[in-house]
Amino acid sequence: MFPKKGASEEEVLKELEEKTSMDLTFDSGRILGSMCTYPHPLAVEVVRRYIDRNLGDPGLHVGSRKVEKEAVGMLSNLLGLKEGYGHIVSGGTEANILAVRAFRNLSDAEKPELILPESAHFSFLKAGEMLGVRLVWAKLKEDYSVDVRDVEDKITDNTIGIVGIAGTTGLGVVDDIPALSDLALDYGLPLHVDAAFGGFVIPFAKELGYELPDFDFTLKGVQSVTIDPHKMGMVPIPAGGIIFREKRFLEAISVPAPYLAGGKVWQATITGTRPGASALAVWAMIRHLGFEGYKEVVKHAMELSRWFAGELRRIPGVHLIREPMLNIVSFGTRNLEEVEEELKRRGWGISAHRGYIRVVMMPHVRKEHLEEFLGDLREVLKSLD
Ligand code: 0PR
């Protein structure tokens, strides 16, 4: 019911405190299956200060627009590009939709088709449906990376582009992007890399000595990359990133917005009014942590993942789905559904995929949380025997 009379600020806050008391919080250490985390305090402060900035009307907030461009520039650099074109958007979903939209608009295929791995995130279902693009699913190999030969077999005159994933949602697998890039170049097709999760992990993990495939613009077939600061970038929601190699992709999805303060401007994002504070927070976090700072975050997350995978291996009735490539560890158990149910009942925020449980070593996840979780897992397994 829409209240006739307002309540005091105190009352309102108290009511909200009660209503949200059933939410799991990141600092409780109970959320193990999320790709989000508690944002960095600096990013929170930036959002608080610049909460009113609207990048939907960049003529009003000229400085913020410049900062967004700089943030896009820094993300482009991280991904091996001197100068890239893109936006800080609402998340990986919007970023993926924009990439598919650009590929479709630049293609003259009569019945547009997009080839993507079976492991692709469900955001592509939205993209396909909204854009009238048929999704053609490519099989996975035994190691859960996409079968590049199957991708090739599925190319037709209607193919508008190919998708590869650098950090799959369920298992954190990095596809063979170099091979996909070669294929894309051979067939004159654009390749989009969904590094929504891996974008803020792989560059640092590689530097730390982890062996991972190349995934970014250093590969000539890669035309666009999704990279989300609101996952491992430690920026508050909403903050996604879409970067294109060339301006023409952005131009292909821009519509005129003729009456705004900046005169006739062009808008490529799905959202019109959109938070400048998010772009500023992305800029602030990159400026503050720098490559070395993010490397430390990733070092901790990767080490914790290796340790956790080792511990899981020692529990009878538990098996790893595959060796972790990034900071995501997924495992199956006997009586999986009952185990999931019981772990959730005990207050664990885990992500239950079909066939396995996913644990994501986000910055808020600490060893003591995982030790407690492993204790519960052992108990639950025993109780179900
Ligand atoms: N691409 C990949 C590879 C993703 O994993 C995700 C989200 C997206 C795109 C879409 O990103 P947005 O959700 O920002 O639009 N993956 C997470 C997942 O499905 C999203 C998520 C985050 C789910 C936190 C749960 C959660 O607690 O796991």
What is the rounded average pLDDT of the residues 27-32? 94
pLDDT of residue 261: 76
Average confidence (pLDDT) over 293-303? 98
Residue 262 has pLDDT above 80, yes or no: no
For ligand 1, say whether the CB of 92 is within 6 Å of any of its atoms.
yes
Strand order in the sheet with 356-360: 318-320, 328-333, 356-360, 351-353
Cβ–ligand 1 distance for 91 under 6 Å, the answer yes
Q: What is the pLDDT of residue 385?
A: 82
Per-residue pLDDT band for 351 (boundaries 50, 70, 90) equals confident
List pLDDT tens digits, range 280-294. Answer: 999 999 999 999 999
Q: pLDDT digit string (tens) for 96-117?
A: 999 999 999 999 999 999 999 9
Closest residue by Cα to residue 269 from 279, 283, 255: 255
**For domain 42-288, which architecture applies?**
3-Layer(aba) Sandwich (3.40)
Instruction: For residues 293-309, give the mean pLDDT.
Output: 98
Indicate the length of the chain as a whole number: 385
**Low-confidence winner among 58-62, 91-95, 235-239, 307-311 (lowest mean pLDDT):** 58-62
Q: How far is the CA of 194 from the centre of ligand 1 (A)?
A: 11
Q: Range(s) for CATH 3.40.640.10 in the chain?
A: 42-288
Pick from 26, 35, 326 the residue to mutate for probing ligand 1's pocket: most ligand atoms within 8 Å of its CB: 35
9-13, 26-30, 184-188, range with the lowest pLDDT: 26-30
- In the chain, CATH 3.90.1150.10 covers 23-40+290-383
Homologous superfamily in CATH for domain 23-40+290-383: Aspartate Aminotransferase, domain 1 (3.90.1150.10)
Ligand 1 close to Cβ of residue 203 (< 6 A): no
Residue nearest atom 21 in ligand 1 by C-alpha distance: 35
pLDDT digits (tens, 9 = 90+) for 196-220: 999 999 999 999 999 999 999 999 9
How far is Cα 308 from Cα 296, in angstroms, rounded to an integer?
18
Say how many Å lie between the CA of residue 169 and the centre of ligand 1: 7
